[in-house]
Structure 1
Amino acid sequence: MSIRSTWVLADIRANSFGCAPALRHDARKSLRRAKGFCGSSVISFGRRKLGRSDGSLVEQVGIAGDEADGDAALMARIAARDAAAFRLLADRHALALRRIAYRMLGDASEAEDVAQETLARLWHHAARWRPGAFGVAAWLNRIAVNLCLDRLRRARFHGGGEIPDRPDETPIADAAMLVAQERAAVVAAVAALPDRQRAAIVLTYYEDLSNAMAADALQMNVKAFESLLHRARLALRTALAAAGVVGPADARVA
């Protein structure tokens, strides 16, 4: 299971939602130092691993500043039907789009379809893009999230919509079993959230977006997003308490 599921659990256990960003980053620092937390997993679908000079691995989560600055120029070229510019921009953002879609839909094939459809819309509608507060990545995130929500609504209407189980069949030591079970419980609890609450958790914890950027992706104002995120966290507390992952003290409403 993803290390990011542990960040979610750390925030739930901290019982103080007002400091969630700090908790996420504190958890990241401590957990990345721990051994045994960074194995590969389906929940890390689409995340590029980069080597350090000391031989360790780090995750490329976002886009470098120079690349982000160049996105606007690439968009102008794409609007003029420059295929090379499209390929470059697609390469920059495809992994993040797949990650978001996978965590929303729980299916790698569906996630690939959403990423491809998002990039197709980029090609066809690049001329409609206007520079905003968060740039091209936020625009693409918004498209991908909306496509995921549409698919979830359609699946539910046709009697489906459940996210598939993601079993981890890798043998693990008894000492790590509890950690794996807790992460699995977090993944299951996130998967069971209402669609927009799930999106709020995915964008905030798994994609490390600010509340403002996540609100933009969901096309709502920041205050409304913060309310949505608060409800999602409370729902996670309740689900994790029912699963025995957090105790009654952790599950109480702050």
Structure 2
Amino acid sequence: MSATETQRYDPTSWRPSRLDLAISAVVAVAFPFIAGWLYGKKGALIPIILYYSLAWGLAKLRRGVVGYRTPMPPRPPVWFYVNVGVILIGLVFAYLAPVKVDDPWLPGVVLTALLWAPANAASEQLLWLYIFDSWGLYPGKKSLPYRVAGLVFFAAFVGLIHTMFWTKFLTVVEPGTVFGALFVLATTISGFLHIVVWRQSGQMVFTFIPHLLLNLGPLLWTGYSILPYLWK
């Protein structure tokens, strides 16, 4: 093993159990519907707290590491730069198909940028990657059916949580336009790139940075604030 390899955490060293298969499958299929239902009843705050608590709790309690305090590799993986590039292209599409707030409330926009944007960017991938790794690393050796299942559950959760929850109030792009559709495509590609970046670096900060750019960018030209949607 080279010196470079010993300076990073190896995500494939985790050995998920059958319990992780069950937890990840239930979370992937059920939680987006629960989050959407809770939003309809009380607003976004409760499901957001549950979402981020699940992400950090499962990453720490089941995988054993969150991924932010693992060794920093000597340099970011190439796919990190690719992911940032995909996000920047996606932000151009978002800029060309914005949903602008007519009378933006600046304190709400600032608080959204300072609190929600980094919290979301730091948390979501923890759960996404837990779901994928639970299947992709089981049963401790390369298994194509389990990897495919991991990708299916990963894609299902990411798609459902946005469809059933985030799109109900996080409206910064017109999805019915060409550029809006291209923005969705770019963010979808970025989601899968998180898997590659995590596996190559063992450092969650390299998934945090592009996601933070994605969260912050549209706030600059839409005037969006999440505050009005937190509680009903």
TM-score between the two structures when normalised by the length of structure 1 = 0.27
- Whichever of the two has the greater Rg, that structure is 1
